[in-house]
Amino acid sequence: MNDNYITEEKEKEELEIDLGQFFRELKKRWRLIVISTFSLCLLVSVFTIFFVDKKYKSEATIYLTSKVNETTGTVDASSITGNSQLVNDCLSILKGNSILQNVADTLKLSYEEVASSISVSNDADTQIIRISAMTKDPQKSKDIVDTTVSTFTDMMLEILNLKNITIIDYAKVPSRPASPSITKNAVIGAAGGFVLSCGYIFLAVLLDKRLKNKNDAEQFLEIPVLVEIPYFED
């Protein structure tokens, strides 16, 4: 029992000493940490700017207009409920093969290109639907969104005689890329450089088995040091 207790205390003490040595090495090699952090941040930023393809996002917003009671001038509650249920149907139709294939044929693009670039979403608890497209060409992104919206409204009018679709925001040609984010990638690069440099220092401390002082010698040999000879430089 006593032997186990001594062993546990010894292991705990060794761990504390190792952690203490680790933090001392961090303080001692702070220049390595700063250089690694800055270097990887700069490297990732340069790679993002010159080698990662820029993508441009264009978006349009449509709204399912609720029916207004002409007598009272108020919105019909049943119309709101019906539109809320219709939103999910509209999302499915917008993502369906028929719409996407029609857009691809109109713009002379491949179905895969259109399907991979377009995104459809609905703002929670609203009848607002957002249609966006992200490609390497800003004009192409706008064309995909415009064609998708026009194809959808025409199809809904033709099939369901649905006339309450209103375009709130029209798609525009984006002036700035939406992806990649240089700031985000730079922060990730800096964090990576910091972690790598700290990991290197930790391994260096962990694998360093040299006896540097009296305490290290006593722990390794498990006998007390009787004599300590000072070192003098010539």
Q: Is the pLDDT of residue 9 over 70?
A: no
User: How is residue 98 written in tokens?
Assistant: 């028929």
Q: Is the pLDDT of residue 204 over 80?
A: yes
Average pLDDT over every residue of 66-77: 52
Query: Half-sphere exposure of residue 118, counting CA atoms within 13 Å on the CB side?
Result: 31
Residue 1 has a pLDDT of 47
Confidence of residue 83 (pLDDT cuts 50, 70, 90): low
Least confident stretch, 102-111, 121-130, 188-197: 121-130
Residue 73 has a pLDDT of 45
Mean pLDDT of all residues in the chain? 83
Residue 108 has a pLDDT of 96
Confidence of residue 87 (pLDDT cuts 50, 70, 90): confident
Residue 202 CA to residue 170 CA, distance in Å, equals 55
- The dihedrals phi and psi of 135, each to the nearest 5 degrees, come to -140, 180
Cα separations (Å) of 158 from 153, 163, 192, 228? Answer: 9, 10, 55, 97
Confidence of residue 156 (pLDDT cuts 50, 70, 90): confident
Q: Can you state the angle between helices 30-51 and 2-28, rounded to 10 degrees?
A: 60
Q: Is the pLDDT of residue 4 over 90?
A: no
Q: Can you state the angle between helices 97-107 and 77-94, rounded to 10 degrees?
A: 60
Confidence of residue 160 (pLDDT cuts 50, 70, 90): confident
Residue 61 CA to residue 27 CA, distance in Å, equals 54
Average pLDDT over every residue of 159-168: 83
Cβ count within 10 A of residue 107: 16
Q: Is the pLDDT of residue 107 over 70?
A: yes
Percent of the chain with pLDDT over 90: 52
User: How is residue 57 written in tokens?
Assistant: 């996002």
> Residue 132: which H helix or E strand, with range?
strand 128-135
Q: Is the pLDDT of residue 8 over 70?
A: no
Confidence of residue 80 (pLDDT cuts 50, 70, 90): low
Place of tokens 């002082």: 213
Confidence of residue 216 (pLDDT cuts 50, 70, 90): low
pTM: 0.71
Residues 6+ apart with CB under 8 A from 147: 103, 106, 107
Q: Look at residues 95, 67, 85 and name the one whose alpha carbon lies nearest to residue 151.
A: 95
